[in-house]
Amino acid sequence: MLQAGMKAPAFSLPDQNGTIHTLEEYKGKKVVLYFYPKDNTPGCTKQACGFGELYPQFQEKGAVVIGVSKDSIASHKKFEEKFALPFTLLSDPELSCIQAYDVWQEKMNYGKASMGVVRTTYLINEEGIIEKAFGKVKAADNPAQMLSELQAGQPV
């Protein structure tokens, strides 16, 4: 996992509509970049819907939320439409961004080791530096946790 204080790796990936996004285009905004294993699974759905519900509050804080998984553009589009997700989902089937952010790791599932995305969330500041890094996050708690991190970092 990458650490706070490191420069966030650049990326160039398509979203659920096929539009290419880069980290550079978010300069000047805080970015909540979260990596999740798979669209339409219980934990990932809880996490995405949580970010969706709190999205207006993220926007008020000048932050964008971006989800990344190795699912296809078509899968992301169905996921977005099914749950009315208001934020960007990036498709990374080649694992370029997933590996750059060091979230492709060995996982144990029912005693069997396999490679997969470890649910991880990064808070990236306006200059593209990782401000906070959270590994093995709890899907249901992560959106509120990230919102409170944003609030903690802002003057009252």
**pTM of the entire structure?**
0.95
CA nearest to 47, candidates 78, 17, 55: 55
For residue 111, give Cα distances in angstroms to 28, 38, 106, 107, 114: 44, 20, 12, 9, 10
- Catalytic residues, by residue number, are 44
Q: What is the tens place of the pLDDT at every residue in 4-13?
A: 999 999 999 9
Any idea which residue has 């553009």 for tokens?
Answer: 73
Q: What is the tens place of the pLDDT at every residue in 109-143?
A: 788 999 999 999 999 999 999 999 999 999 999 99
